[in-house]
Amino acid sequence: MGRPIHADGRLTRKAILDAALDLFADKGYFGTSLREIAQAVGVRESGFYNYFESKEALFIALLETAREYRTEQWAAFLAEPITDARSTLERLSTRVLDFFREPQQQRLFLIFMSDGMRLARQGHIDLVERMTSGTAPFQDLMRRLIADGSLRPRDPELLAMEFMGPLVLWRQWHAINPTGRLVTNRRAFVRNHVDQFLKGATAFPARRGRSGSIPADNISYFATVNIKERAR
């Protein structure tokens, strides 16, 4: 990717961020040099420092840009009125999966899959903060669903983590096997995910069998899938 003609500083800075994202995803953070990033943009390595003081500073800027975009994406959705818990959660799940499928998000995820632990050990990122902050925008939604009686009173932070967990797992499946059945049939995945979440978090107690055990239709969807896969 060459440097845009007559590009101002903001465009060059964005070009550097885009090139770094591509190279980090392809070669890893530790396998990419500043020289390679500068060459991809069409600037001298010395000129790189006019925009970022180091590769770490560039990486942090990349994360901040991604965080701002993510915040904008969820703010508009979560501000919408809730008319029905199930439809709201299905629309949200669909939007989250579509978000995970965006090329930029796929590249970021590849970086964390390949270099995440090493980046955390060396102090470049706070993995715990990154993992927990991802559920923060959804905690208010859980509070609203508790307030209107759709969910029984529970810790909104824990509910948000329980809701997001299967979606994050889907993201891993998508990165590893994008043609897999659970990945390609997103509509069924969303429907079953929300159904099982509501069965576990609904304001009404789960129906139990004569023996006191929870019936088969309340078993986790994911456990059911695993059982079916093993039987094949």
User: Is the CB of residue 179 less than 8 Å from the CB of residue 217?
Assistant: no
Segment 55-108, tens digit of pLDDT: 999 999 999 998 888 888 888 888 888 889 999 999 999 999 999 999 999 999
Q: Which residue range is the domain that position 1 belongs to?
A: 1-53
Nearest to 129 by CA among 141, 116, 142: 116
Between CA 165 and CA 158 the distance in angstroms is: 10
- Whether 46 and 158 map to the same domain: the answer is no
The DSSP-derived string for 64-88 is: HHHHHHHHHHHHHHHTSPPS-HHHH
pLDDT tens digits along 118-142? 988 888 787 777 766 677 788 999 9
Q: Are residues 34 and 119 in the same domain?
A: no
Is there a domain that residue 61 lies in?
A: no
Cβ atoms of 12 and 40 within 8 Å: the answer is no
| pTM of the predicted structure, to 2 decimals | 0.77
> What CATH number does residue 32 fall under?
1.10.10.60
Are 141 and 44 found together in one domain?
no
Q: How many domains does the chain fold into?
A: 2
